[in-house]
Amino acid sequence: MIRDPATPRVSVIIPVYNAGSDLGRALDSVSAQTVPDLEVVVVDDGSTDARTLKLLEKAARRPRVTVHRTENRGPAAARNEAVRRSRGSYVVPLDADDYLAPTFLAETVAVLDAEPEIGIAYTWIGLVGGHRGTWRTGGFSVPELLCRCTVHVTALYRREVWVDVGGYDPRFVESCEDWDFWLAAAARGWQARRIPKVLAYYQRRGRSRGVRARERGVSARLMRTLVAKHRTLYEQHLEDAMAGLFEEYSVVSHSLERLYNHPAVSVGLRLRALLRGEGVA
């Protein structure tokens, strides 16, 4: 099959909702890619912030960028709208407050070009903003994805993956729409390749969507929705799912124990107890 040279190979889709402080950086990171054969499809998910609206007007004048506006329906619906309006055979979602390393597309596109059996190419993730470090993303299998989201939303995939899965589920408003998407793709037999390099960056702020999703009641509701949707998978892999969840809990508990046993933390806790007039054991 010969591809129309007027059709971009890659579509970068960016949902935006009041992200005026970060959108420019995300767009600049796409402009810096070493793969020129791309388009950027921005969907404004009902932004009301004046700074964001001004930046969207400027973005619409950038080469290879189109901006579309919808009412506020959440990032899943906005991503679906962006994919429907895009033309590339490869798709990469990029949140407006995240950004790419200059070689992200060069390295992920090379994987899908060279390996037709691979549907998704993803990388390690640099953590910025309210969290620091490197997320060494996990494997792409049903048992692993039943326990936790092992892949960041920013990954390159073939358009056929989105079609096969049926897009992002708009019921997941606060979070987990990417987790649901990857789990559904793995359940349908799609394979993925992980590139062990930090080639994308995930920002978290104090009131970001990811933080709000961890509030009491919200995370439980999201998990119930995920389990209800994929109940058959959870039943088929019950032992693996429970073992994986317990292992994750054990890792977090061990990390907290190490933190509290750190000499600096121990001194701080003792000092706080003394200032409060509490007894120090």
On whether the CB atoms of residues 80 and 63 are closer than 8 A, the answer is no
Every domain of the chain and the residues it spans: 10-236, 242-281
> What pLDDT band is residue 1 in, cutting at 50, 70 and 90?
very low
pTM metric for this prediction: 0.83
What topology is assigned to 10-236 in CATH? Spore Coat Polysaccharide Biosynthesis Protein SpsA; Chain A (3.90.550)
pLDDT tens string 76-133: 999 999 999 999 999 999 999 999 999 999 999 999 999 999 999 999 999 998 778 9
Question: In sequence order, which residues have a C-beta less than 8 Å from that of residue 213 and are 6 or more positions away?
Answer: 174, 175, 176, 219, 222
- The partner residues of 198 in beta bridges, in order of sequence, read 124
